[in-house]
Amino acid sequence: QKPEKLSSVCVAGALRDGVCAHTALHTHARMAAGHTLLVMDGASPFGLMCIQLACYHGVKVLTTSPSPQKQTFLEQLRPSVGIQDPLVARVIPVHNGSPDLLSAVLEETGGLGVDIVVDSEVRLHGDEKEEEKLLPHKHDIISVLGVGGHWVTSHKNLQLDPPDCRLLYLKSASVSFLNPEVWTASSAQQGRYL
């Protein structure tokens, strides 16, 4: 049910991202309490929904920030000293040069890697345009996955090379594709979105 303080316009605006976050975390990644989640660009509407949903279910959340402004916003979601349940355990900046995402994640997870990675887009090669340089590289995402991890991506043209597949195989990890439009086309959900 819609909370009384929220207008119908606000709720309708959040519905699509909320459904996508639910599909990514519950249907594709089989999220459970105790898991560790890495949300790429947690300050996006979809990223915020993933963070909130994961925290509600007792999942430890790490996120990246592609700009100083988004990092400031995400840091506000982190707790002050003494607060028991933080929304975000760590914000990893990816806007200042070439960040070492892998070392930050391994430090936060005790060297094990994360159980779930959720992204909106990824870089496939090293020679992309300037605006694509802030996107995570597919190899970085595969590297931060722990054993049995799930990578949920919205990248529709993802190509995995044999070394990437071998690394996923060795980790017994899986890749799922998140198409936001599929939920409305499902026969079981027909008409519920509207």
User: How confident is the model over 65-98, as pLDDT tens digits?
Assistant: 888 888 888 888 765 544 455 567 888 888 765 5
- Say what the pLDDT of residue 79 is: 59
Q: How many of the other CB atoms lie within 10 Å of CB of 118? A: 32
* Edge-to-edge strands, sheet with 145-153: 90-93, 60-65, 36-39, 114-118, 145-153, 174-177
**Rounded CA gap, 42 and 45, in Å?**
8
Q: What pLDDT band is residue 174 in, cutting at 50, 70 and 90?
A: very high
Cβ atoms of 92 and 64 closer than 8 Å:
yes
67/130: higher pLDDT: 67
Q: Which residues, 6 or more positions from 61, have their beta carbon under 8 angstroms from its beta carbon?
A: 36, 37, 39, 42, 51, 54, 55, 87, 88, 89
Position 155 pLDDT exceeds 90: no
- When pLDDT is averaged across residues 117-121 and rounded to a whole number, the result is 85
- Say what the pLDDT of residue 82 is: 46
45/190: higher pLDDT: 45
Hey, what amino acid is at 60? K
Position 140 pLDDT exceeds 70: yes
- Say what the pLDDT of residue 100 is: 80
Q: Where are the beta strands (DSSP E) in 26-112?
A: 36-39, 60-65, 90-93
